[in-house]
Amino acid sequence: MTGRKDWDTYFMDIAYMASTRSQCSRRRVGAVLVQGKKLLGTAYNGAPMGVQDCSEAGCMLVEEFEVKLVDGNEQMVRKQRCIRTIHAEQNLLLFTDRSDREGSSVYVTDQPCWTCANMLANSGIKEIVYHRAYPKDSDKVNALMTDCGIVLRRLEAYVPPAGILTDVMN
Ligand SMILES: [Zn+2]
Ligand SMILES: [Zn+2]
Residue type (1 letter), 150: I
> Is 87 flagged in the annotation as binding?
yes
CA distance 68 to 72: 9
Mean pLDDT of the chain: 94
Q: What is the Cα gyration radius of the chain? A: 16
Tens of pLDDT, residues 125-169: 999 999 999 998 999 999 999 999 999 999 999 999 998 888 888
User: What is the CA(149)–ligand 1 centre distance, in A?
Assistant: 32
* Residue-range domain boundaries for the chain: 7-48+85-154
* Separation in Å, CA 19 to CA 65, 71, 76, 79, 133: 27, 34, 31, 23, 16
Q: 30-35 and 38-44 as β-strands: parallel, antiparallel, unpaired?
A: antiparallel
Regarding the domain delimited by 7-48+85-154, which CATH topology (the fold level of the hierarchy) does it fall under? Cytidine Deaminase; domain 2 (3.40.140)
Give residue 1's pLDDT band: very low, low, confident or very high (50, 70, 90): low
pLDDT at 170 over 70: no
Give residue 2's pLDDT band: very low, low, confident or very high (50, 70, 90): low
> Is 59 flagged in the annotation as binding?
no
User: What is the CA(147)–ligand 2 centre distance, in A?
Assistant: 19
Active site residue 64: no
Tens of pLDDT, residues 10-23: 999 999 999 999 99
pLDDT at 3 over 80: no
Tens of pLDDT, residues 35-66: 999 999 999 999 999 999 999 999 999 998 88
Query: Is 111 exposed, middle or buried, given 0-12, 13-18 or 19+ CB atoms closer than 10 A?
Result: buried
Q: What's the pLDDT score for residue 168?
A: 82
